Amino acid sequence: MKTCLRYQPICLKERKAWPQKYTLLLLSFLRISQAINIIGDDKEVITGETVELVCKLSGDGAEVLRVDWMRKTLKKPEKKIFTIIRNKDATPEEENGLKDRLQFTGSIPQGIGNIRLQDARLQDIGNYSCRFVLFEGSPVSKSIQLKVQARPEINIPTITPLVGTSEATLATCRADVAHPPAEVFWNASSLRISVRSITNSTENPDGSMNVSCSLMGVPSRDILNKEVLCLVRHPTLERQRTIPYSINIHYPPQSTKVTPLESPSSSPVFQCQADANPRPDNYTWTRNGLPLSNNGVKADGNKLYFQKLHSDMNGLYDCEASNIYGSATCSLQFYIISTSRDKFFLWIPFTVFLCFLTFCIFNNRSALKSSVTALMTRFQAPDSRRQSEDSVIEESGESSQLQPAVLTAPVSRGKSEDTPQELLEQKPSGIEESGESSQLQHTAQSLKESQEGSSEQSSCLTQKDARSLGEKT
């Protein structure tokens, strides 16, 4: 009867044969295990590229039955993804599209278990384990780390802040779907104003990161079209990427004006210009506050065409330029007198005035002549006055001899009747150069002009004038 202890796996009867039978097997296994080594390195690849995972036995004498590939990620436990059996086709498991992207490139008889992964993705990041199952001995394995990087997609979206006095986002630089996250920052030394940067990052479902860096400042027209630089750094880039960007500031129309344009025809053309961003998308023309009529004036956008020239087109023309932020107005004062009809009506009052002036000159020629002579006499020297006075008296005497009609006038002092000629020929003594002499000279000169003006009328002194003349002499 055999008696075996519970804690002994081998019966006492067969205990003596253990060292010889199992010792040989143990030594053979240890010898094979020490001689087998697996060659394989960690891999790093960029998304979209192809990577080959190397797993190769370095020892001799080991006969491989099959090769198993396992994968373990951060979000999923270890799972078999590929099994290659000796003398059979390799069939990858359907995991994350691996069936179409995974290919066995090794040779089991030679102890090579390499696989090729095409179109690497971020979901392929993980720990890959290669295990060789041998005919003799325990399986041997090797762990390989696969790292997948994603290049950043760099872009600067167009931002159009409105001019103002408060801080706003002037520009934003983005580096999306990158793994690991990219470094993004701005170089805004050209702005010469106070600015700052704000960086934000978000994670996508596939593990990639979106990083954005915003440039903050007060939008003004002074920084319009100024160039700033977006700088991006990432391990997948050979060097730092630099992307220029021009600051774009929006504002309503300002500084509007109407200027003439060169036209191939004789009709004038005017253009309405406005400083605005974006450019004005609507122009409205009015005349004296009313919409334009089709009578010789045509508006086309910011241009105003005068198809004919006529005084009816005179007036104040206004141009209103507007965009989405506001509007501004400028004016054009248009006046024309170049038509023949206008010239005709303009010459009528001028011709009438010339005719009236000619008529007045011919009818008042004698009066005008006497007035001019009197003015000239007043500004003559005293000697000239005496000579003129004597000549006037002599001429007056000659005239009285020619004229038969003589008027007598009583003299208050002598009571004698003398003719005006006799009175004039008597040269007064003791008369000083005073106002009385000037008055006498003026009276004689008037008498002379009356005699020269008309031969039919007789000019003589009245009694009152003679009496006055006698008292003065």
Q: What is the pLDDT of residues 309-318, one digit of tens each?
A: 888 888 999 9
CA distances from 226 to 13, 85, 156, 241 (A): 99, 66, 15, 20
pLDDT above 70 covers a percentage of the chain that reads 63
pLDDT above 90 covers a percentage of the chain that reads 39
**Residue 78 pLDDT:** 81
pLDDT tens-place string over residues 181-221? 999 999 999 998 899 999 999 999 989 999 999 999 999 99
- Domain at 36-149, CATH homologous superfamily: Immunoglobulins (2.60.40.10)
**Residue 148 pLDDT:** 95
**Residue 64 pLDDT:** 86
Residue type, position 284, single letter: T
pLDDT tens-place string over residues 336-379? 775 455 555 556 666 777 776 776 776 666 665 666 566 566 65
**Residue 312 pLDDT:** 80
Residue type, position 218, single letter: V
pLDDT at 105 over 80: yes
**Residue 127 pLDDT:** 93
Q: Please report which confidence band the pLDDT of residue 156 belongs to, taking 50, 70 and 90 as the band edges.
A: very high
**Residue 35 pLDDT:** 57
The stretch 217-229 carries a mean pLDDT of 94
pLDDT at 7 over 50: no
Its CATH architecture, for the domain 252-334, is: Sandwich (2.60)
Range of weakest confidence among 255-269, 407-421, 446-460:
407-421
**Residue 150 pLDDT:** 96
pLDDT tens-place string over residues 8-22? 444 434 444 445 444
**Residue 326 pLDDT:** 94
pLDDT at 405 over 60: no
Q: Which residue has the higher pLDDT, 152 or 110?
A: 152
**Residue 432 pLDDT:** 42
**Residue 320 pLDDT:** 95
**Residue 267 pLDDT:** 82
Place of tokens 């400083």: 275
Closest CA to 215 of 174, 263, 266: 174
Q: Please report which confidence band the pLDDT of residue 429 belongs to, taking 50, 70 and 90 as the band edges.
A: very low
**Residue 257 pLDDT:** 93
Q: CA-CA distance, 320 to 303, in Å (whole number)? A: 12
Q: What is the largest CA-CA distance in the chain?
A: 217
Q: What size, in residues, is the chain? A: 473
Its CATH architecture, for the domain 153-246, is: Sandwich (2.60)
Residue type, position 428, single letter: P
Domain positions in the chain are 1-34, 36-149, 153-246, 252-334, 380-427+436-448+458-472
The two beta strands, 303-306 and 269-277, are antiparallel
Contacts of residue 281, defined as CB under 8 A and 6 or more positions apart, other chains included, come to 322, 323, 324
pLDDT at 387 over 90: no
Domains 36-149 and 252-334 equal at CATH topology level: yes
Across the chain, mean pLDDT equals 75
Q: CA-CA distance, 397 to 461, in Å (whole number)? A: 13
**Residue 370 pLDDT:** 67
Q: CA-CA distance, 281 to 69, in Å (whole number)? A: 66
**Residue 448 pLDDT:** 53
pLDDT tens-place string over residues 289-327? 899 887 788 899 999 998 888 888 889 999 999 999 999
pLDDT at 230 over 80: yes
**Residue 430 pLDDT:** 42
Q: Please report which confidence band the pLDDT of residue 89 belongs to, taking 50, 70 and 90 as the band edges.
A: low
Q: CA-CA distance, 424 to 56, in Å (whole number)? A: 162
pLDDT at 107 over 80: yes
Q: CA-CA distance, 92 to 14, in Å (whole number)? A: 47
**Residue 224 pLDDT:** 93
**Residue 138 pLDDT:** 84
Residue type, position 73, single letter: T
**Residue 60 pLDDT:** 66
Q: CA-CA distance, 137 to 431, in Å (whole number)? A: 172
**Residue 344 pLDDT:** 53
Q: CA-CA distance, 448 to 278, in Å (whole number)? A: 90
Q: CA-CA distance, 310 to 13, in Å (whole number)? A: 139
pTM, two decimal places: 0.57
